């Protein structure tokens, strides 16, 4: 009995050490594979980026105390081949479209996500999207976007089976200007137009 | 007479039995055990436990950011205390099993065994209190001379053997 | 003498516990996170994370990035949440974050405290996930959630200590 406990402890110690060394090896080799495949310089084409602004007044859309809060969404075209991101240690890729724009004061900046997707297999990793609608309605910390200019990029995060989470971005980038949201009247006119279009 | 029994097939077991009875044996020879080595090690050990306890209390009382500087101090204290304890064991205690004195003589006995040989390699140091130098002799105690076939430790034999070693030591001074 | 022996034996036992605890605390100091290793408790980040997966956290980064997976607590409440940063807004003094679980349909606005519209990086974020081990943490979930497992494990430990104590 005595020696069984001792032997058990020995086995456990060896197992833990082995797992530790294996993990380090896995992490290093996954990173090397990615580097080799040019993962950190993947090209992408983002085009046809068309932002639409609306004004919202519920907390769900960032409004505080029912004050008007400017929201916007994008439609966009996207072409990106993310297959080099898949290796034996890639469980999934989280890919997302971001827009980065300056803030009010010196040294301030903002970054938002309009759209994201989870890709779990290499077969689905070559993205070609047209007129894709953004998933999220985005608002700023300020009440309006003040027609600022944003840089839109496609970024990715690799979720490994074991090891270090690695992230990066693709090379494509597009600048976009936040449009002025429609006034109350313009918004109502727009809604009427849409309703009429549906009826036809 | 209560015998301490050990497994005669395990040198470690027999060694443990001798270590346990050695203080008793030496007291019959007139020696008084000195606990300074054990006590110092215990003190260092329990102080480190206190440091860990302090860290635990800290977690309960303060938020992480607030408690961080104190935690760093306690971690440092813990590290220092456990290092000191390790160093003390390695360089001061070494393989000492017993240390005691009779009159002006201080006796220190250290020992080690190897798994395959049924004998105890002992280092007996005798020195006069106050003087730095002492005489050291390395002797070998065969377990067979103090354990019977049932594994009983005969303390009388052990006492006699040690007495002989000490007298030899006296003569050689 | 018997007291000393008992104290020594007790110390050996305590040493196992305290060294493990202090190692955990040391890790906490190095990563600057109150909880440097966490076990995933919910399925809100599937298929990336599943219940029982183990996450390693780092908290020495000054700012979080969009796309990072972070662990945060709302008003220092007990249950930490592991979600991804959807949006960030910062100036040179602070950073505000909006998070969302990959497997949730909407962002975390509904999870934050009343009147709280963003997370504050310095105050609310426990750490950013940098490392991942699947499954290994499921044991801790079983221990806390499954009564049979908990008492079974305790019984096993008690039994094994009785057996080895007989020597």
Between helix C138-145 and helix C147-165 the angle, nearest 10°, is 100
> DSSP characters for B98-142?
EEEEETTEEEEEEEE--TTS-EEEEEEEEEETT-S--EEEEEEEE
Residues 6+ apart with CB under 8 A from A120: A91, A92, C47
Residue C70 lies in a domain: yes
**Do B56 and B30 share a domain, yes or no?**
no
> DSSP characters for A122-185?
GGG-EEEEEEEEPSS-EE-SSS--TT-EEEEEEEEEEEESSEE-EEEEEEEEEEEEPPPPPPHH
Distance from CA of C59 to the nearest CA of A (A): 15
pLDDT of B55 > 90? The answer is yes
Query: A94 vs C109: CB contact, 8 Å cut-off?
Result: no
Instruction: Give the residue numbers spanning the domain of C127.
Output: 32-135
pLDDT of B132 > 50? The answer is yes
Distance from CA of C94 to the nearest CA of B (A): 17
Q: What is the domain count for chain C?
A: 2
Q: Which of C1, C22, C34 comes nearest B52 by C-beta?
A: C22
Mean pLDDT of chain A: 89
Optimal mutation site among C2, C5, C16, C22, interface B, most CBs of chain B within 10 A:
C22
For residue C9, the model assigns a pLDDT of 87
pTM of the model: 0.82
Q: Which residue has the higher pLDDT, A186 or B94?
A: B94
Task: Tell me which chain B residue has its CA closest to the CA of residue C36.
Answer: B64
Q: Which of B46, B55, B82 comes nearest C25 by C-beta?
A: B55
Q: How far apart are CA A55 and CA A71, in angstroms?
A: 6
**Do B76 and B122 share a domain, yes or no?**
no
> pLDDT (tens digit, 9 = 90+) per residue, A152-200?
999 999 999 999 999 999 999 999 999 988 877 777 787 888 888 887 6
Residues 6+ apart with CB under 8 A from A122: A83, A86
**Do B119 and B44 share a domain, yes or no?**
no
Last residue of a domain, one of B75, B92, B109: B92
Q: Where are the domains of chain A?
A: 2-183
The interface predicted TM-score of the complex, written ipTM, equals: 0.86
**Do C55 and C107 share a domain, yes or no?**
yes
**Do C152 and C85 share a domain, yes or no?**
no
Give B7's pLDDT tier (boundaries 50, 70, 90).
confident
**Do B58 and B88 share a domain, yes or no?**
yes
Residues 6+ apart with CB under 8 A from B139: B121, B122, B124, B165
**Do C81 and C105 share a domain, yes or no?**
yes
Residue C19 lies in a domain: no
Q: Which of A5-9, B3-7, B138-142, C89-93 has the highest mean pLDDT?
A: C89-93
**Do C145 and C73 share a domain, yes or no?**
no
Q: What is the domain count for chain B?
A: 2
**Do C158 and C119 share a domain, yes or no?**
no
Give C166's pLDDT tier (boundaries 50, 70, 90).
very low
Active site amino acids of C:
44, 83, 108
Instruction: Give the residue numbers spanning the domain of B56.
Output: 38-92
Q: Which of A2, A64, A141 comes nearest C164 by C-beta?
A: A2
**Do C112 and C63 share a domain, yes or no?**
yes
């Amino acid at each position: 009995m005595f020696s069984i406990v001792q032997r058990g402890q020995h086995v456990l110690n060896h197992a833990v050490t082995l797992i530790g060394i294996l993990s380090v090896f896995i992490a290093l080799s996954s990173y090397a594979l990615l580097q080799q495949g040019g993962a950190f310089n993947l090209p992408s084409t983002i085009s046809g980026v068309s932002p639409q602004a609306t004004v919202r007044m519920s907390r769900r859309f960032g409004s505080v105390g029912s004050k008007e809060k400017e929201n916007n969404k994008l439609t966009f075209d996207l072409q990106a081949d993310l297959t080099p991101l898949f290796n034996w240690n890639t469980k999934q890729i989280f890919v997302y479209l971001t827009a980065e724009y300056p803030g009010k004061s010196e040294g301030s900046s903002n970054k938002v996500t309009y759209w994201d997707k989870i890709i779990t297999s290499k077969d689905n990793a070559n993205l070609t999207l047209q007129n894709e609608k953004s998933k999220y309605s985005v608002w700023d910390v300020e009440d309006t976007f003040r027609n600022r200019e944003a840089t839109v990029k496609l970024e990715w995060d690799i979720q490994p089976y074991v090891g270090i989470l690695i992230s990066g971005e693709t090379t494509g980038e597009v600048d976009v200007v936040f449009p002025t949201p429609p006034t109350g009247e313009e918004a109502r006119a727009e809604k009427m137009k849409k309703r009429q279009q549906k009826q036809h | 007479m209560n015998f301490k029994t050990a497994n005669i097939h395990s040198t470690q077991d027999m060694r443990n039995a001798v270590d346990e009875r050695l203080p008793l044996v030496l007291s019959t020879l007139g020696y008084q055990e000195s606990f300074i080595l054990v006590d110092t090690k215990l003190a260092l050990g329990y102080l480190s436990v206190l440091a860990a306890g302090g860290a635990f209390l800290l977690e309960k009382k303060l938020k992480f950011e607030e408690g961080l500087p104190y935690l760093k101090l306690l971690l440092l204290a813990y590290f220092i205390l456990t290092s000191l304890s390790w160093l003390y064991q390695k360089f001061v205690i070494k393989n000492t099993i017993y240390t005691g004195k009779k009159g002006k003589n201080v006796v220190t006995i250290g020992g080690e065994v190897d798994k395959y040989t049924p004998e105890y390699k002992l280092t007996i140091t005798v020195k006069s209190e106050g003087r730095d130098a002492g005489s050291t002799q390395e002797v070998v105690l065969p377990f067979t001379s103090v354990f019977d076939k049932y594994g009983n430790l005969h303390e009388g034999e052990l006492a006699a053997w040690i007495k002989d070693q000490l007298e030899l030591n006296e003569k050689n001074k | 003498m018997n007291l000393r022996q008992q104290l020594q034996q007790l110390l050996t036992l305590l040493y196992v516990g305290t060294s493990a605890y202090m190692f955990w605390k040391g890790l906490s100091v190095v990563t600057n996170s109150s909880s440097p290793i966490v076990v995933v408790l919910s399925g809100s980040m599937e298929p990336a994370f599943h219940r029982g997966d183990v996450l390693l956290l780092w908290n020495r980064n000054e700012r979080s990035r969009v796309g990072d997976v972070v662990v945060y607590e709302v008003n220092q409440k007990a249950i930490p949440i592991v979600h991804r940063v959807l949006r960030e807004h910062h100036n040179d003094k602070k950073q505000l974050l909006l998070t969302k679980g990959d497997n949730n349909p909407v962002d975390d606005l509904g999870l934050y405290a009343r009147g709280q519209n963003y997370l504050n990086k310095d105050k609310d974020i426990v750490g950013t996930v940098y490392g991942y081990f699947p499954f290994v943490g499921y044991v801790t979930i079983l221990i806390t959630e499954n009564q049979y497992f908990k008492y079974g494990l305790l019984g096993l430990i008690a039994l094994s200590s009785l057996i080895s104590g007989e020597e």
